[in-house]
Amino acid sequence: MSEETKSLNFIEHIIEEDLANGLSKDKLRFRFPPEPNGYLHIGHTKAIGISFGLGEKYNAPVNLRFDDTNPAKEEQEYVDAIKKDVAWLGYQWENELYSSDYFQQLYDWAVQLIKDGKAYVDSQSSEAMAEQKGTPTQPGVDGPYRNRSVEENLDLFERMKNGEFEEGAHILRAKIDMQHPNMLMRDPIMYRVLKKHHHRTGNDWCIYPMYDWTHGESDYIEQVSHSLCSLEFKPHRELYNWFKEHIYNYASDMLPMLPKQREFARLNLSYTIMSKRKLLKLVEEGIVSGWDDPRMPTISGLRRRGYTPNSIRKFIEKVGVAKRENVIDVSLLEFCIREDLNKTANRVMAVLDPIKVVITNYPEDKEEWLEAENNQEDDSAGYRKVPFSREVYIERDDFKEEAGNKYFRLKLGGEVRLKNAYIIKANDVVKDQNGAILEVHCTYDEDTSKKVKGTLHWVSIKHAIIAEIREYDRLFSHESPDSDKDKDFMEFINPKSLTIKTGYLEPSLATVEVGEQFQFQRLGYFNVDDDSTPEKLVFNKTVGLRDSWAKQKPKPQNNQNQNKAKPQQQKRSAISVIQQFGKKYTNLSEEKQLKVKSEIQELAKDVSYDDLEPLFGTAVKKAGTRIAVLIALKELLKNGLERNDAINEFIEKAKADKNEVLVAEASEI
């Protein structure tokens, strides 16, 4: 592998630094801590890839820990789905753990905190507490129960645990600082009364610990060295540290490692959403068929769609890790799956929008089984036979009565190759009363050695088998559906995200199994959907092939988000071209500088003083721009421009500059 020079991301830098500062490599330990309240999506894959990737890189253990502290939302179904998805991605966890395993330890530590005066029971309504908490811009105030005695706190807390109080009657809070600028430090809640059945602890507990208290201490119990999470937890770090430093006093002999929380920017994918809550809404409202609908950005959806673990891991690798908000273009994901499938998927022929071709000089009852290569990218893939006969389907798009010479496909009087078969020539069309084409009549030529521009895929009509083909488009029409301030993401739903077609397939596909993947030649990659049966085949389109022909056609309306720079370039004024030259000027060889200089002089004829003056203020460090401006200015002066104070000042400043070229130009005046 050529990994030696691969640059590190900021988390790897931190780890390398810790290692350099004496952290022993065998102390490295990571964790992936999902809450089992929904399915994993492509965004989680980034978190999974970071922590498990680090585990692989440093040969360190990675725990799969379910953060199951809220029995109201969490279910075993999600635990199972999450385990399945992580394993499918190809990662191995060291231990399968649950925060709920630590409930007793957490409780004991909470009691110690109470004894040390670091936690207290509050008995107000949530409204009252919210009011005392202040706002991000206003400090909070202490509540009336803040200074209860240790004995009273201990008594109440124990009775909370014993189920003596109803939900909402009391909570346990850490005693930190109600005026703290970080709202999370304003006496955060540690425990609430919740008389709910927990998927693992059953009815053992009537109180459940909150995230901040549980998560950090779970890391600490597991002796995680680096606890990696997404950016929105950055403000929690202060509290994470507060808890861990206090608990360290109680347990440092058994648990010497203090975990370090660090935060990275989560993944956003264009034209989709990542919020579990919003994805759930799509499921509940029937916009999609379920969490594993192939249009969903969930791991199960991507799997069903035909994405491979390999392609997803590659994608995560390419996306990188940093701290700024980002929106990844789906085209990168598509690139990754194409790259993978190109090497592994067998090629087959299928026609999804058929038009009938009759080969008039081919005998009516003749049929031939022709040899076809399965995958030219894989020598071990072998060959198969495909049947040919007098009547075949080709794609409706692949025929035009008349077309220009940039159209390589079949047109009247033109020749085209049928993949793996003969070269045919179109002679005639048969139409119905409305002028719609029913048949194309062709003649074939046994000589296949001829050079023809186009090659089409096809299927023999009498041998064709039928399948349902599901084609998908993006789920949302907006690049970033949940970032619009005025509109709800539901307003951007693309009503045409699913198209169902009937496909005509070569007969070798009669025996496919669920999950098998193919390239339908010239169309894209398809896999056999979970719904497929031998009686009724169902295929999903995973992704289309790159199509540089399709791109040609819609030229004028190619107004997307691409290449905003281009329109600017079309009408570039002389002054902007001069600026452009200026930017590069100091980097050019002397010879090229002369050439550019004369071009600037030429351009200067179209420049007015008003264009030039604003550039006198160009920053000192942009010497090139100032040189270009100076050259242009000299031309204007030569052509009769009167000198003024601004000009003089600019020239004097140039003479005093550090850049020799600039000084030389200025001195020539």
Partner RNA sequence: UGGCCUAUGGUGUAACUGGCUAACACAUCUGUUUUUGGUACAGAAGAGUCUAGGUUCGAAACCUAGUAGGCCAACCA
Should residue 136 be labelled a site residue for RNA when binding is judged by CB under 7 A? yes
When binding is defined by CB under 7 A, the residue of 77, 547, 606, 652 that contacts RNA is: 547
Query: Minimum Å distance from CB 233 to RNA?
Result: 6
Which residues, numbered 269-308, are part of the site for RNA (CB under 7 A)? Answer: none
Annotated catalytic residue, options 29, 244, 260, 276: 276
Which residues, numbered 515-534, are part of the site for RNA (CB under 7 A)? Answer: 519, 521-522
Which residues, numbered 67-86, are part of the site for RNA (CB under 7 A)? Answer: 67, 69-70, 72-73
CA distance 19 to 4: 18
Angle, helix 623-638 to helix 660-667, in steps of 10 degrees:
10
Query: Minimum Å distance from CB 138 to RNA?
Result: 6
Should residue 234 be labelled a site residue for RNA when binding is judged by CB under 7 A? yes
Should residue 584 be labelled a site residue for RNA when binding is judged by CB under 7 A? yes
CA distance 117 to 471: 62
Backbone dihedral angles phi then psi of residue 588, each to the nearest 5 degrees: -80, 155
Annotated catalytic residue, options 31, 35, 46, 425: 35
Nearer to RNA, 605 or 621 (CB): 621
When binding is defined by CB under 7 A, the residue of 87, 438, 620, 646 that contacts RNA is: 620
Query: Minimum Å distance from CB 378 to RNA?
Result: 10
When binding is defined by CB under 7 A, the residue of 154, 251, 287, 328 that contacts RNA is: 328
Q: Which amino acid is at 497?
A: S
Per the CB < 8 A criterion, the answer to whether 430 and 437 are in contact is yes
Nearer to RNA, 105 or 124 (CB): 124
CA distance 583 to 555: 32
Query: Minimum Å distance from CB 583 to RNA?
Result: 3
Active site residue 196: no
Query: Minimum Å distance from CB 661 to RNA?
Result: 13
Got the DSSP string for 234-254? TTHHHHHHHHHHHHHHHHTTT
Should residue 383 be labelled a site residue for RNA when binding is judged by CB under 7 A? no
Nearer to RNA, 63 or 375 (CB): 375
Should residue 624 be labelled a site residue for RNA when binding is judged by CB under 7 A? yes
Structure tokens at 242: 């507060």
Nearer to RNA, 448 or 667 (CB): 448
Should residue 664 be labelled a site residue for RNA when binding is judged by CB under 7 A? no
First to last CA, the chain: 59
Should residue 567 be labelled a site residue for RNA when binding is judged by CB under 7 A? no
Which residues, numbered 329-358, are part of the site for RNA (CB under 7 A)? Answer: 329, 331-332, 334-335, 338-339, 342, 347
| Element of type H or E holding 386 | strand 383-389
Per the CB < 8 A criterion, the answer to whether 66 and 99 are in contact is yes
Which residues, numbered 111-130, are part of the site for RNA (CB under 7 A)? Answer: 124-126, 129-130
Q: Residues with Cβ < 8 Å from 114, sequence gap 6 or more? A: 120, 150, 153, 154, 157, 172
Should residue 587 be labelled a site residue for RNA when binding is judged by CB under 7 A? yes
Active site residue 266: yes
Please list the residues that pair with 209 across neighbouring strands.
191
Which residues, numbered 412-471, are part of the site for RNA (CB under 7 A)? Answer: 417, 419-421, 448, 451, 454-457
Should residue 10 be labelled a site residue for RNA when binding is judged by CB under 7 A? yes
What b/e sequence results for 241-260 when a residue is b if at least 16 CB atoms lie within 10 Å of its CB, and e otherwise? ebbbebbeeeeeeebebbbb
Please list the residues that pair with 348 across neighbouring strands.
520
How many chain residues touch RNA (CB under 7 A)? 109
Site mask for RNA (CB under 7 A), range 178-217, x = bound:
---xxxx----x--xxx-------------x-xx--xx--
CA distance 55 to 377: 33
Active site residue 35: yes
Query: Minimum Å distance from CB 184 to RNA?
Result: 6
Per-residue H/E/C for 491-543: HHECCCCEEEEEEEECHHHHHCCCCCEEEECCCEEEEECCCCCCCCEEEEEEE
Annotated catalytic residue, options 118, 133, 262, 266: 266
Q: Residues with Cβ < 8 Å from 446, sequence gap 6 or more? A: 422
Query: Minimum Å distance from CB 455 to RNA?
Result: 4
When binding is defined by CB under 7 A, the residue of 232, 285, 488, 652 that contacts RNA is: 232
Grouping H, G, I as helix, E, B as strand and the rest as coil, residue 409 is coil
Which residues, numbered 236-275, are part of the site for RNA (CB under 7 A)? Answer: 236, 265
Q: Which of 63, 71, 85 is nearest to 35 (CA)?
A: 71
CA distance 360 to 441: 6
Should residue 546 be labelled a site residue for RNA when binding is judged by CB under 7 A? yes
Catalytically active residues, by annotation: 35, 266, 276
